Structure 1
């Protein structure tokens, strides 16, 4: 039986931007739009999984039927822009290993130009399923494991000051509200004031600097955060660039703890005909669904190759996660992977990918690893009408925690029509 209780719909009803956009469009004439498009869609899929509950033992298979009606909308007018999409996701488990599920996926962006080229208001709202573990994203491999629906609403009025033909200053305020359906997620509200300076030294060289103050109220801990940075970007040819940014973060929690750290973000991208090489490193403070902030130090690199009827990518990543404030998390993740896509014939495209992760958790003396493989074929039946077959394989292994060991095979057949 489908759970149609108030709690299922509460998250969707929080969709402030979606409601505002719908009201505006209902009250406005499309004739004022310089660009307008509206596309309904419908997808129906059938999935077989040999481990629907994602257990290490007592595995149970199931067939999952999904129905996904959706819409996408683009509206551009002299003073308003709206770009949005919404998908309703109904899931039926034939063997009743899980109750039927309803979830939503929505993203809406809007911009109001109050005073042309000077005073703007940006609105943004995203409702989707997210992983509750900041160190790994489970949404690509599982429909539900360690996930929650999340709604993030942002509104930001700001001014753009043209100091001279080469310098631009942006100052404003940002309000962001984050809500999680699962009780383990930390709901939070951010109030931020910011200033960002960009100066064009030469047509290929830009200097940037900025400062942001953020006060966060949350269901866990409140804090005040100061971020200041300087940086730059240099384009050394048409498709290649070098960038760098360094700054300092100061955080004061309401329970008295003070944290201060340097952060940075630097890298380059170089294109050689059909091959692009890119390297990136940095320190950033990520919103942790189950805490306030987690410090991530990362190093990544990759190669992207374009050829006649397809593309291929190779990537490597190292990330170290340290939770800031109460709670213990000290996890290092090593990732290597490859992806490829190839057009077999004009109406048939194949794609495949493989990732290997190794996690080092010092606080548990646990080093699990993960293999994740995908393969798919997509056939264009007619304009906007596709048939896609997908296979997903997931394998987790832990030498010390037997419950972490699980293997999952999923086969999915989907029909999708965009009107």
Structure 2
């Protein structure tokens, strides 16, 4: 059984950060629940040479805590998932912790604030190994990754001229699943970052011209790799030509210090672009410049089709360590639902990587129907070229509330990856190109038995087809029934 107790150790500390603000009036809501799921699958062990069937019992107690007040906003969701595998050899059970926590507190009115975040989740270590669309299957390619972040900051208003913010930032990424990391061949190790920044933004007296000055320093200490430091300064400006169009630009200096020619950088940085707002439902921002070696650009476009439906298009270019990407992706806020969405880098290592990501998403509601459609293309350029990868994913979902008690949904996804795979050894490598296709589809029906009981029946099918990966190319079926009780 997994003995990971990290959620119990860190949770009181993070909640304690909000305690000074707790005395201020806030609406608190605590919702405990218990879910029991019984699943049959014909492919329970993803690492085995042949497909094996088994019944999986999952017991998932959950607690959700929300606080909403003038000086405190807090959201916590924690589930220790217990899995039991009756036909397994060796250990028959596992515990996998899932935690999402955010807190924003104002400790001194309009002066001193503290933001804290924590995320504990299961991640696949390498998409080139066994993966599944269902949590119930077992694999050594899955590990628990923990990300924690604390940001205390001070603010000051210089009348209508400018607003200043002085911030400290502490981030920690780790995994205690050392055996899984070793067996999966992952070099991902814990890292702690310390940083500070100063930002001064123009005040209300600037109408057509806006400006922002920033200076920053970050130091990331990695256990099994060299430290990574970056610092710089930047002046950002905007000029509003008319109600619809504004010109954007920035100029500054950045130093990236690491024992890697892939990331080493000491130069001027700049970009220029525009923001177009032709109406209340449309916004487009585009920037082009030099942020690393070579040209870079960014794009963010938004169109609200109806009050409950929107289309977004984004492009992101980042050069970071995998540990930093874990922190960034762990606390991404979905623009439609407003909830934390853990996108994940889907590959874990101690190296530097440059990711170029296109994402298009359509989400909405119409009456009793909810729908979503998204497409993502991400290119990984690693400091070690043999770890480069390009992945494209398309996913869709459709849900319908048939009655006040009955809801049904269907969903599906397809992922296509291109990378190289070592068929040799570390001493005598033999890399070959791989085309990897993974698709999954499912349906479920949920019925509310009473105010506190909800039952769900679900079916999921997945399959994989990859050249040079014969052991992973097999279909999987999952049939499950669950009941959730709000306590």
Please indicate, yes or no, whether the TM-score normalized by the shorter chain is above 0.5.
yes
2:418 aligned partner? 360
Which digits, 9 at most, give the CA deviation of each residue in 1:167-188, with x for residues without a partner?
4332211111111022333110
Find the counterpart in structure 1 of residue 440 from structure 2: 372
Determine if the alignment matches structure 1 residue 178 to structure 2 residue 165. Answer: no
Q: 1:332, 1:87 → 2: CA distance?
A: 33
Task: Go from structure 1 to structure 2 and tell me whether the alpha carbon gap of 1:403 and 1:150 turns closer, same or farther (over 3 Å shift).
Answer: same
**Residue in structure 2 matched with residue 216 of structure 1 by the alignment:** 220
Please report how far the alpha carbon of residue 312 of structure 1 lies from its aligned counterpart in structure 2 after TM superposition: 2.1
- 1:92 and 1:99 in contact (8 A); partners too: yes
Query: How far apart are 1:81 and its partner, in Å?
Result: 4.7
Separation in 1 of the partners of 2:372 and 2:130? Answer: 20
Q: 2:26 aligns with which of 16, 30, 34?
A: 34
Moved more, 110-119 or 370-379: 110-119
CA distance in 2, matches of 1:341, 1:243: 41
- Residue in structure 1 matched with residue 278 of structure 2 by the alignment: none
Q: Which residue of 1 aligns with 2:399?
A: 341
Secondary structure of the corresponding residue to residue 52 of structure 1 = coil
Structure 2 gaps, min length 5: 182-187, 266-291, 323-347, 421-430
Q: Cα RMSD (Å) of the superposition?
A: 3.7
Displacement of 1:380: 1.6
User: Secondary structure at the residue paired with 2:435?
Assistant: coil
Determine if contact 2:460/2:478 at 8 Å carries over to the other structure. yes
Q: 1:51 aligns with which of 43, 49, 70?
A: 43
Local SS of the residue matching 1:18 = helix
- Kindly state the Cα deviation for residue 163 of structure 1 after the two structures are TM-superposed: 3.5
Alignment of 1:148-297 (within 5 A): 148-165=143-160, 167-183=162-178, 184=181, 185-199=188-202, 210-221=214-225, 222-226=227-231, 230=236, 250-254=255-259, 258-260=263-265, 261=292, 264-273=297-306, 275-285=309-319, 287-288=321-322, 289-297=348-356
The SS at the match of 1:169 is strand
CA–CA separation in structure 2 for the residues paired with 1:195 and 1:92: 50
Give unpaired runs (5+ residues) of structure 1.
Answer: none
- Specify the alignment match of 2:334 in structure 1: none
State the match for 1:18 in structure 2. 12
Give yes or no for the alignment of 1:406 onto 2:477: no
Distance 1:122 1:413 in 2: 39
Query: What secondary structure is seen at the aligned counterpart in 1 of 2:7?
Result: helix
The 1:82/1:189 distance shift into structure 2, 3 A limit, reads: same
Give the structure with the larger strand fraction: 1
Kindly provide the CA deviation profile for residues 13-36 of structure 1, in whole angstroms up to 9, marking residues without a partner as x.
541x434526986xx998864322
Please, which moves more after superposition, 29-38 or 189-198?
A: 29-38
Paired residue secondary structure (2:6): helix
Corresponding position of 1:116 = 109
Contact residue 209 and residue 237 of structure 2 kept, 8 A = no
Residue among 70, 87, 90 paired with 1:95:
87
Residue 102 (structure 1) shift: 1.3
Deviations 1:187-232 (A, max 9, x none): 1000111234444789999766644321111122211123666487
Using the alignment, how far apart are the partners of 2:320 and 2:457 within structure 1?
35
Shift of 1:393: 1.7
Size of the alignment, in residue pairs? 407
Q: Which moved more, 1:62-71 or 1:276-285?
A: 276-285
What TM-score, normalized to structure 1?
0.83
1:313 aligns with 2:346: no
